[in-house]
A and B are shown apart, each in its own frame.
Chain A
Amino acid sequence: DVKVTQSSRYLVKRTGEKVFLECVQDMDHENMFWYRQDPGLGLRLIYFSYDVKMKEKGDIPEGYSVSREKKERFSLILESASTNQTSMYLCASSLLSGEGGELFFGEGSRLTVL
């Protein structure tokens, strides 16, 4: 069964802290994505990666960075967390690129920044 695992379901951090959100997929997918989900705004793409060490900015990359050192792992980093980064973060992966392949999602990481 396909699996995208996000290491932390719930996190509480303080303003200014560095935050790591980890995502691992076991499907050998080329593409991995980080989305942010907020009520009334749907899902907004932060970053995506189409290969190891490759990344591209999405719609809202400001305040975030990513790392993909291994194919199965894609990390989202908040260098200095702020309260406006309180949100649900969803990781996804897909096999097909540029062909509308299905996205497989993790269960999400709900981050609260105090």
Chain B
Amino acid sequence: AQSVTQPDIHITVSEGASLELRCNYSYGATPYLFWYVQSPGQGLQLLLKYFSGDTLVQGIKGFEAEFKRSQSSFNLRKPSVHWSDAAEYFCAVVPTSGTYKYIFGTGTRLKVLA
């Protein structure tokens, strides 16, 4: 079955430190890949997406993610975290087979220490 795994439920980093959030997926082919962010009390906002081409994609708010086919991973990174990045982050995939069904990971909650 298709699935998305975000192994870290909580991550705490200091402001200014680098960040990497992990995402692994299980699917027979390369799906479309997304990262969304949810600030407290808000809906989800798209950070970035990968459809094809360059495996390093840039997103909003200084985030980037790298698609690694061999590892079935799509990890999110940021070189220097800001206090305003504290939020919950969701990885999601959509199979490329013409389905509407987005599959979300269970999320990683980021805490930023001043």
Contact with B46, one of A31, A58, A102 (Cβ below 8 angstroms): A102
Q: How many angstroms from the CA of A31 to the CA of B100 in the assembled complex?
A: 9
Range, interface on chain A: 20 to 34
**Does A52 make an interface contact (CB < 8 A)?**
no
The complex places the Cα of A56 from the Cα of B104 at a distance, in Å, of 18
The reply to whether B104 and A43 contact each other, CB–CB distance below 8 Å, is yes
CA distance A56 to B99 in the complex (A): 11
| B94-106 near A? 1/0 per residue, CB < 8 Å | 1011111110111
Q: Name the residue of chain A whose CB is nearest to the CB of B32.
A: A100
The stretch of A12-20, A60-68, A71-79, A103-111 that contacts the partner chain: A103-111
B interface majority secondary structure: loop
- Residues 68-114 of A at the B interface (beta carbon under 8 Å): 90, 92, 97-100, 102-103, 105-108
> Chain B: which residue is nearest A6 at the CB level?
B43
Contact A98 B43 (CB under 8 A): no
Q: A102 to B104, Cβ gap below 8 A?
A: no
User: Which residues of B are in contact with A by a Cβ distance under 8 Å?
Assistant: 9, 31-32, 34, 36, 41-46, 49, 51, 90, 94, 96-102, 104-107
The interface of chain A, by Cβ under 8 A from chain B, is 4, 31, 33, 40-45, 48, 50, 56, 58, 90, 92, 97-100, 102-103, 105-108
Could you pull out 10 A-B pairs where Cβ atoms are within 8 angstroms?
A: A43-B44, A43-B90, A58-B101, A98-B100, A100-B34, A102-B46, A103-B34, A103-B44, A105-B44, A108-B41
